[in-house]
Amino acid sequence: MILTAFLRALGQLGDRRFRRVMLLGIGLSFLLLAAIYALFLGAIQWLVPETVAIPFLGPVGGLDTLLSWGSLVLMIGLSVFLMMPVASAFVGLFLEDVADAVEDRHYPHLPPATPVGILDAAIDALNLFGAVVAANIAALFLYPFAGPFVPVVFWAVNGYLLGREYFTLVAMRRLGRRGARELRARHAGTVWLAGTLMAAPLSVPLLNLAIPVLGVATFTHLFHALRSRAEGGS
């Protein structure tokens, strides 16, 4: 079921609406990170003087330039860590486009879904961003004890978060927030496993930028499969 959902999502990756959301997510992420760096750079140039008096050495210049270059290196390193959660947050704002594209192609018999409000989408996107960043920061303290299982910890943590958030966001379009949570709770293991499949490529540069769109599409298929199974068994 999970592999089928993922392969069907992967097969639709060339969809025009998929590409639009992916490019919007990546573009807005770069703009946000660039704006943060610009503010950080402006703060350095404003707060750090051009010359600093050091005992026994006298005035030393160029400290602001050194810190500016150092902040650029730091920002590049942070962008590797932040790009995926930032892109995920922005993709969450355009989730309707991806889910609608999947349903138009694979489930044309369904009535229109109830759209998620802009405010709700923004709140959910921020919650996803905060949860992913906070969980990965917390996981950093576990990595020294994980040894060769560091990738497993990374996949498990991010898989749980991606599964929980994406499945809920997709399901609430059809069931409402409460119904989505109840369905997710009944299939918690399946949702977590599917999220882990999404988390596995997160450490691969560039490929990880496609994960938010693939995640929404995969969980759209998974939601319909689980809902169909539940209705068939009732």
Residue 93 lies in a domain: yes
Residue 215 lies in a domain: yes
Residue 68 lies in a domain: no
Most trustworthy range by pLDDT among 49-53, 58-62, 89-93: 89-93
Residue 192 lies in a domain: yes
Q: How confident is the model at residue 67 (pLDDT cuts 50, 70, 90)?
A: low
Residue 113 lies in a domain: yes
Quick: pLDDT tens for 180-223: 889 999 999 999 999 888 877 766 666 677 778 888 899 999 99
Residue 75 lies in a domain: no
Helix (H) or strand (E) segment spanning residue 71: helix 63-93
Q: What is the mean pLDDT of residues 80-101?
A: 72
**pLDDT value of residue 75:** 61
Residue 87 lies in a domain: yes
Quick: pLDDT tens for 130-143: 777 777 777 777 77
Residue 18 lies in a domain: yes
Structural domains in the chain (count): 1
Residue that the structure tokens 């969809």 belong to: 15
Measured distance CA(112)–CA(4) in Å, rounded: 24
Measured distance CA(88)–CA(110) in Å, rounded: 27
CB 34: neighbour CB atoms within 10 A?
12
Helix (H) or strand (E) segment spanning residue 53: strand 51-54
* Structural domain boundaries, residue 204: 2-27+83-233
pTM score of the predicted model: 0.74
**pLDDT value of residue 224:** 92
